[in-house]
Amino acid sequence: MARFNAAGLSMQADHPLVIAGRTVHLDGFDPHRKVGFEYITTEAGDREEITEEVVLELESRMGRGDLYVLLVDEREVSSAATLERAADHFLRVASARLGFELAESFGESGK
C-alpha cells in the first residue's frame, strides 16, 4: 500500500467493492480516484473471493475506465522489487487514463 500512498492516493484497507454480484474486499482502494489493488494469497482466502467472474467484470470495468485495480497473484511475483516495478507501472498507466497526477515525490520513492 505504501507505493500507492507515495503516488498521492488515499488508500483504504480492506475496501468492499461489489463486483459480479458479490462483495469483494480489496487490500487497498482509493474510492475518490477509483484505483486499488489486491494481492491474491491462498492464506487470506482470496482465491475463493476473486473468482473468474470477478476478474472478467473487473477487466470490463477497467476497459470502460470506471476503475483500475491491480491484481497480483503471490504465485507470480518473484521478489519485492518485481512487485514494486509492477505497481509503479500500473500507477503511471492508471493516472494517465483516469487523468490524475501522481505526487511529485512518487518517482523518487522508486529509486
pLDDT tens digits, residue range 33-79? 999 999 999 888 888 899 999 999 999 999 999 999 999 999 999 89
Closest CA to 68 of 31, 103, 102: 31
Domain count along the chain: 1
The CATH number assigned to the domain holding 41 equals 3.40.960
Residue 79 lies in a domain: yes
Whether residue 47 is contained in a domain is answered as yes
Q: Does 48 reside within a domain?
A: yes
Q: Is residue 109 part of a domain?
A: no
Residue 40 lies in a domain: yes
pTM of the model: 0.87
Domain of 13 in residue numbering reads as 2-101
pLDDT tens digits along 76-109: 998 999 999 999 999 999 999 888 888 887 865 4
Q: Are 6 and 103 in contact (CB under 8 A)?
A: yes
Does residue 18 form part of some domain? yes
Is position 86 within any domain?
Answer: yes
